[in-house]
Chain A
Amino acid sequence: MIQGVQLDLISEERLARLTSMEKIRLILDEVMAGNIVVLEKGLTPEESSRLIEMTMMEISPDGFAGIEMETYPARAQGGGLLARLFGGGRESPSRLTVIGPANQLKMLRKERDLISAWVSSR
């Protein structure tokens, strides 16, 4: 059989139809099944923190080891690197986000404008 990894790209529209809990459950179910999820628009900080909380509860020895999650910071408008992130506008910094199982998805580079990841099959 050909080895492979399933990649699911979820549109902003679809995400907007889901409640926070549905979103988190969807992501966690996908990732626990070994899939990589790319969200067109990321989670709010509160949703991310709930996702982490639920992820922690699913971790088991020699089983699920957690997630790898990366997103871009909010658009910087001059000033410091994170000027807008901290003390900038009110809206949540939620942009394109990639989430996957920690034992399969490794972040190679994370810059302000580039995220480079490496995916292995199980």
Chain B
Amino acid sequence: MDILTKARKRLSRFLRVFFKKKRSRIGIYGPPNAGKTTLANRIVRDWTGDALGPVSEIPHETRRARRREGVTISNGNGDSIVIDIVDTPGVTTKIDYHEFTEYGIEKEEAVKRAREATEGVAEAMHWLREDIDGVIYMLDATLDPFQQVNIMMVGIIESRDLPVIIVANKIDLPDASPGRIKSAFPQHPVIPISGLEGTNVDDLYEKMIEFFG
């Protein structure tokens, strides 16, 4: 950790104690199906024993931002952070209920899901602009980073100067290439994990303590 990061951390810790700032609210953002809920569930399960939300291969499974408050993450050296973890719906600019009927969902239910999904995306945008203190930006390591990265998302993270950890997920799959994601983000920590199998999540916890503390 360089001096600047250290100084900034110390300052933010000081400010937090001083102003009794609420816990850091960490949002998990990323394209639909990247594995956000799978990771959110793992984090919540590892540190509290519960789960956060349902996971499925149907896009827009998460249609509402879901928050779990007061999750304490710690390491062997006695460092720890307390965060609120927010699982968000995949950000998209279009939603058609036919996306759901293709999975065999009845029209009425599909229309309802589409409605919820639009509200969830609107919510996620709002959260990011107003209420989030740090971001886990999740990408699918089997896909081209450039195709899935959302320029607007990156722009907001950047302009709000939010701490961000990039997660290259699904490294258990044979065509995963976390290196491709690393080279796309040379100035940011990129942690390759399998949220499904739990590979490397300890590295992620370590980085979260360092970055969001």
Contact = CB atoms under 8 A, between A and B. Distances in A.
A69 B97 CA distance: 20
A102 B149 CA distance: 19
Size range of the chain B interface in the assembly: 35 or more
B6 interface: no
Interface in B73-96: 91-96
B93 A68 contact: yes
Contacts of A87: 158, 187-188
Interface stretch (A9-17, A18-26, A58-66): A58-66
B197 to A, nearest CB: 27
Contacts of B119: 56
Q: Main SS of the interface on chain A? A: loop
B94 A67 contact: yes
B184 A66 contact: no
Nearest to A42: B151
Q: Main SS of the interface on chain B? A: helix
B190 to A, nearest CB: 10
A73 B159 CA distance: 15
Interface in B86-133: 91-97, 111, 114, 118-119, 121-122, 125-126, 128-129
Contacts of A81: 145-146, 183-184
Given A49-B125, A52-B121, A81-B146, A65 B94 contact: yes
Interface residues of A, number: 36
A80 interface: yes
Contacts of A86: 154, 157-158, 164, 185, 187-188
A103 B159 CA distance: 31
Contacts of A82: 145-146, 149, 154, 184-185
B49 interface: no
Contacts of A111: 146
A16 to B, nearest CB: 19
Interface string B182-196: 011111100000000
A35 interface: no
A48 interface: yes
Interface in B138-186: 145-147, 149, 151-159, 164, 183-186
Interface in A66-122: 66-69, 71, 73, 79-83, 85-87, 90, 92-93, 102-103, 110-112
18 contacts: A45-B158, A46-B156, A49-B129, A49-B156, A53-B126, A56-B95, A56-B122, A59-B114, A61-B114, A65-B94, A73-B151, A82-B146, A82-B154, A82-B185, A87-B187, A87-B188, A90-B159, A112-B146
Interface of B: 91-97, 111, 114, 118-119, 121-122, 125-126, 128-129, 145-147, 149, 151-159, 164, 183-188
Interface of A: 44-46, 48-50, 52-53, 55-57, 59, 61, 65-69, 71, 73, 79-83, 85-87, 90, 92-93, 102-103, 110-112
